[in-house]
Amino acid sequence: MVYSIRSKSRSIISSMAALKTSVESTFASSPINRPAGSKTMKLEKIRDAQQGFTPVLKRRSFSKLETSSSSTAAALTRDRTSYKVQDGAKSCGGLDYFEEMKQRFLSFKKNKYFEELEHFQNLAKAQSPKFMVIACADSRNGPSETNAALEFAVNTLEVQNILVIGHSDCGGIQALMRMQDDVDSRQSLTENWVVNAKVAKFRTKAYTAHLSFDQQCRHCEKESISRSILNLLTYPWIEERVRKELLFIHGGYYDLLNCTFEKWTLDYKGRKVDEEEVGRHSIKDHSFWS
């Protein structure tokens, strides 16, 4: 789930990616560092990288976490039951994941690193990223570090773009939509965690009450992205660079089932956005990749 960003408290999870200005993008689970001057990765290699770094673990469900908000936690941890691991790095079938990791590292070094040696050597000396990517919080990184990451990316690295990405079938959004509206009754850290997007939920309920739960979740996933985009403007140093067109803020939505990506750019008019207007904003350069 992409979290609502707040200037003085917890916020969404961020990660940075260096992309060259005119990159031919194929969506992957993590950004690719590609500063200006590097060669464009071939489609076949991107596909190989996506397939090569997704080992499948055999799951065994043998116990459930006992918590006062088990339904909320279950939505966030769907299909993430406890693993029974032997020797720390081997599955029950005896597969050595470190050996597999080694082979994939060597494959990357041979097929990617040596082919773009100059690019990686330059990257080792200095970085000049064009994008900051803010994605789903599935990595479970602490949100307290987001303000510093934003400040470093915008003021020090001077990125030209911030891309906020959400995705379909988001467990965090589903948990949020199932939560009781009375926030004072929250009893778990999980509920405190997902409630940051409560405004996106309220707006979704107001406009989609006639739709099914799954359809409401899909709407809320995109609504959460919109709110996060506008909340970025509450940082004065971000708003100033956006107003001067030194920084552009984009939204993205990845459909996991259909492998499609929807992208749009905030069309900022240079006026302050109050609480009632968050979620209603102009966009441009709307495109759909399929």
Using DSSP's 3-state secondary structure scheme, residue 67 falls into coil
Nearest-CA neighbor of 193 among 231, 136, 150?
136
| Euclidean distance between CA atoms 191 and 176, whole angstroms | 8
Q: Name the token pair of 40.
A: 């464009």
* Extended beta strands in the chain, E state: 15-17, 131-134, 161-167, 248-255, 260-266, 283-289
| Euclidean distance between CA atoms 281 and 287, whole angstroms | 17
CA 60, chain centre distance (Å): 27
Which residues are part of a known binding site for Zn(2+)?
A: 136, 138, 167, 170
Q: Name the token pair of 209.
A: 């009450």
Nearest-CA neighbor of 181 among 148, 159, 203, 156?
203
Using DSSP's 3-state secondary structure scheme, residue 90 falls into strand
Please enumerate in sequence order all residues whose Cβ is within 8 A of that of 177, keeping only pairs 6 or more positions apart, or say none. 201, 204, 213, 216, 217, 220
Nearest-CA neighbor of 170 among 87, 122, 129, 228?
228
Other C-beta atoms lying within 10 Å of the C-beta of residue 175: 24
Task: Specify the amino acid at residue 83.
Answer: Y
Which residues are part of a known binding site?
A: 136, 138, 167, 170
| Euclidean distance between CA atoms 164 and 83, whole angstroms | 32
